[in-house]
């Protein structure tokens, strides 16, 4: 395997390339994408649910190819590399729905290191935090151990905070745990030179139109916006400076309609989840990673950009 190199010619294998712990619009963006191989780790949030190329699809349609924010991020990074005359980004996604943090760290992190990436996104812990007895400090210690291991292997790490659940009904009870976990994530990133996707700070995610019917996973628009947040977290410029602008306001639904929607949500999503938990089962028990091997990402946009760049060189 060839040595992975950054734009300035330094090899990334076996080195620690410190990244910004906070990506903002005020940061100076890097001119090109320096990462050659990206591996995404996590649970359903990174695997991607309810978002298929041909329309919405949820856990009840397991054979439908699904995409998530990490897939969109990989496409955007690859497009920029190709436009700059570089090879396409290689991308693998090892995330599996329903995974708690411990198996993510025990199974996916070693597998990712074996794939020799120079960028890993590690977003997990949300399924743990849904449980009232979750020990958030312990989760943070486990996460930090994994970050140290990845950084020691010369890999840049992208972490993700939890989303603000202030308007999330029953899930709002997790807000103190999410906030504590987020504080740990920012501290871990600062100590080890990791990048962070600031999901808590995204105003657009406070709009339910960004969320699928289960109120846990994102829609196509939600995934697209989180991918933009990830670009910013990596210190790169977003594709659209309005990426986090709130949607146009809409009239509130009548109270009766809201109650009916809540009842349907509890029946179709909360009850099945609670039943699986009582039985010690997970929605991802029989699933395998959807993209276990790094493969080049070439979208139509990337192909067009590459053709234009080749034309300019000619």
Contacts of 94 (CB under 8 A, 6+ apart): 39, 40, 41, 108, 111, 112, 289, 291, 292
Predicted structure pTM score: 0.79
**Are 129 and 162 a contacting pair, CB within 8 Å?**
yes
pLDDT tens per residue across all 314 residues of the chain: 333 333 333 333 333 344 444 444 444 445 578 999 999 999 999 998 766 665 545 554 555 567 899 999 999 999 999 999 999 999 999 999 989 999 999 999 999 999 999 999 999 999 999 899 999 999 999 999 999 999 999 999 999 999 998 887 778 889 999 999 999 999 999 999 999 999 999 999 888 788 776 767 788 889 999 999 999 999 999 998 999 988 778 777 777 766 675 666 566 655 455 665 566 665 555 688 999 999 999 986 555 544 454 444 44
β strands within the chain, DSSP E = 37-42, 90-93, 119-123, 156-160, 195-197, 291-296
- Spans of all domains in the chain: 37-246+254-298
Q: Classify 207 as helix, strand or coil.
A: coil
**Are 228 and 202 a contacting pair, CB within 8 Å?**
no
Can you identify the CATH homologous superfamily of domain 37-246+254-298?
Answer: SGNH hydrolase (3.40.50.1110)
């Amino acid at each position: 395997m060839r040595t992975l190199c950054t734009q300035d010619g330094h090899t990334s294998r076996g080195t620690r390339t410190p990244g910004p712990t906070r990506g903002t619009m005020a940061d100076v963006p890097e001119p090109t994408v320096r990462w050659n191989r990206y591996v995404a780790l996590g649970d359903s949030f990174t695997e991607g649910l309810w978002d298929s190329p041909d329309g919405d699809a949820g856990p009840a349609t397991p054979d439908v190819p699904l995409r998530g924010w990490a897939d969109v991020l990989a496409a955007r990074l690859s497009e920029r590399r190709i436009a700059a005359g570089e090879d396409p980004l290689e991308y693998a996604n090892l995330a599996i729905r329903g995974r708690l943090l411990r198996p993510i760290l025990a199974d996916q992190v070693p597998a990712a290191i074996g794939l020799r990436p120079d960028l890993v996104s590690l977003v997990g812990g949300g399924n743990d935090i849904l449980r009232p007895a979750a020990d958030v400090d312990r989760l943070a210690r486990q996460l930090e151990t994994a970050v140290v291991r990845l950084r020691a292997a010369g890999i840049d790490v992208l972490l993700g905070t939890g989303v603000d659940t202030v308007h999330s009904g029953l899930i709002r009870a997790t807000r103190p745990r999410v906030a504590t976990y987020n504080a740990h994530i920012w501290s871990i990133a600062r100590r080890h030179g990791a990048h962070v996707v600031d999901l808590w700070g995204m105003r657009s995610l406070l709009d339910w139109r960004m969320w699928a019917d289960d109120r846990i996973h994102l829609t196509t628009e939600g995934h697209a916006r989180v991918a933009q947040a990830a670009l910013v977290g990596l210190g790169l410029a977003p594709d659209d400076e309005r990426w986090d602008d709130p949607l146009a306001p809409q009239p509130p639904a009548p109270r009766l309609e809201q109650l009916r929607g809540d009842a349907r949500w509890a029946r179709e999503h909360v009850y099945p989840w609670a039943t699986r938990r009582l039985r010690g089962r997970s929605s991802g028990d029989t699933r395998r990673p959807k993209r276990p091997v790094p493969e080049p990402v070439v979208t139509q946009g990337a192909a067009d950009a590459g053709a234009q760049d080749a034309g300019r060189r000619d």
